Amino acid sequence: MSTNSLFNQIQLEGHQLSNRLVVAPMTRRSATSAGVPTEAMVDYYQAFARGGFSLIITEGIYTDSLFSQTDLNQPGLVNEEQMEGWKKVAAGVHKSDALIIGQLMHGGALSQCSAKTIAPSAVQPKGLRSTEKDGLTGPFPIPKEMSEEDLSDVKKGYVQAALLASKAGFDGVELHSANGYLFDQFLTPHTNLRTDRYGGNTYNRLRFLMEVYTAVKEAVPAKFIVGIRLSESKVNDLRYRWPGGSTAAVEIFTVLKGLHADYLHIAAEGGNWARECLYGDGSSSSGLAKKITGVPIIANGGLHDVQIAESLISSQQADLISIGRAALANPDWPRRIAEGKSPIPFFKELIKPSLTLQHTQAVLEKLAGNSSGNRMVL
Ligand SMILES: Cc1cc2nc3c(=O)[nH]c(=O)nc-3n(C[C@H](O)[C@H](O)[C@H](O)COP(=O)(O)O)c2cc1C
């Protein structure tokens, strides 16, 4: 099978990428308790760049010291110390000529570590907090409905975090508007009951994201990439789909077209592209996003299946492919595919979002019987 289309170059906001392969954002909960990236994280991200990925999107990074943090030991970008930690990560990735984008994330109602949360409306989230992660357990609390002041604080947080990302040497940031977190809570009708200009029709439910996007884009230097990630499924509701299927997708992308985002990252959080991104009428969310907005599209979800990944690129349903779990087991996934070597299969114990870098390393060592050929370099 030809894998050529995955290895063609592409331009993204004036940056040359050597192939179409991107590391998907993956929470690692391996920063210090003060949210500062560690040396292990420098090695972890560098391994993907050495392994041939042309673009690495980091784990979700919190954006302010108020309500944005989602996990304990999550890294932040709210002060100079955290920025200095990220500077080392970015420099490590750049040694191998890959780009690095920081995923900026506000957990909204889905924080695993805050007793008090904020969200578009005071609606208790479905599901329970993860028992596998350190932090709080049990039902998510009922969040406080965000006031105008809260909206302004969140926007300021994103702008400041993006400026710190630029200072740290990142090539761009991704606004995390997927998986059930804050911006997705605005987009989702049952978690957004607002009657002001941020609630109601699709445009209003995307308004806050678009305002933050515009504020960030205006603040950062030219050529600094600002993308947006969207998904239908949510961490606390993997079965959720946009009500109306492809009709809803058309509406969403028609609104977002006016934003001219640097890219859209259309994700299948549950890791199954066909189940989460394909509609009954044969269209797909990434394909509709590409056709309607005309901006570069990253597709995600089970796309370590090279045949599907290839077909999405060649049928113009995506420009880039992001790989999550398979990249954890194979930081050198692109090299393996290019050289026709089989990637190491990934196992449940390896890919649980609850696992830290140290746990992942331990599992990989067990799998590899400590042979250095299969090890993720940490
Ligand atoms: C360990 C782990 C942590 C994740 N953390 C994030 C995250 O911080 N931000 C995000 O947008 N998605 C996160 N995801 C979802 C992935 O980006 C991706 O959508 C998902 O793994 C499906 O892609 P895959 O089939 O290539 O693994 C995480 C997934 C895993 C396995």
* Architecture in CATH of 4-374: Alpha-Beta Barrel (3.20)
First-to-final CA distance of the chain: 33
> What ligand 1 atom has the least distance to the C-alpha of 272?
25
State whether the beta carbon of 300 lies less than 6 angstroms from ligand 1: yes
Q: How far is Cα 135 from Cα 187, in angstroms, rounded to an integer? A: 27
- In this structure, which residue's CA is closest to atom 11 in ligand 1? 25
For residue 273, the ligand 1 atom closest to its alpha carbon is 25
Query: Residues 181, 198, 213, 279: which is the catalytic one?
Result: 181
In the structure encoding, which two tokens stand for residue 279, read together? 């509609």
Domain map of the chain by residue range?
Answer: 4-374
Residue 375 has pLDDT above 50, yes or no: no
Q: Comparing C-alpha atoms, which of 320, 324, 332 is closest to residue 375?
A: 332
Tell me which amino acid residue 66 is.
L
pLDDT, position 80 = 98
Q: 185: Cβ–Cβ under 8 A, 6 or more apart, which residues?
A: 108, 109, 110, 119, 120, 191, 192
Ligand 1 pocket, residue 179 CB under 6 Å: yes
**Annotated catalytic, 181?**
yes
Atom of ligand 1 nearest to the CA of 174: 11
Q: Is 308 exposed, middle or buried (0-12, 13-18, 19+ CB in 10 A)?
A: middle
Tell me, what's the pLDDT at 134?
A: 78
How far apart, in whole angstroms, are the C-alpha atoms of residue 228 and residue 3? 27
Taking CA atoms, 254 is separated from 25, 106, 187, in Å, by 26, 25, 14
**Pairing state between β 138-139 and 128-129:** antiparallel
Q: Which of 268-272, 317-321, 339-343, 355-359 shows the lowest per-residue confidence on average (mean pLDDT)? A: 355-359
DSSP, res 137:
-
Q: What are the residue ranges of helices labelled H in the chain?
A: 39-50, 80-94, 148-168, 182-187, 202-219, 246-257, 273-277, 285-293, 306-314, 325-329, 333-338, 348-351, 357-368
* Close Cβ partners of 93 (under 8 Å, ≥ 6 residues apart): 45, 46, 48, 49, 56, 99, 100
pLDDT tens profile 47-88: 999 999 999 999 999 999 999 999 999 999 999 999 999 999
Q: What is the pLDDT of residues 238-265, one digit of tens each?
A: 999 999 999 999 999 999 999 999 999 9
Closest Cα to atom 2 of ligand 1: 353
Convert the pLDDT of each residue in 116-170 to its tens digit.
999 999 999 999 888 777 788 889 999 999 999 999 999 999 999 999 999 999 9
193: its two tokens: 């009951």
363 CB burial (10 A radius; 0-12, 13-18, 19+): buried
25 lines ligand 1 (CB under 6 A): yes
Distances, alpha carbon 303 to alpha carbons 100, 242, 319, in Å: 20, 21, 13
| pLDDT, tens digit, 9 for 90 and up, residues 333-361 | 999 999 999 998 877 666 776 778 888 87
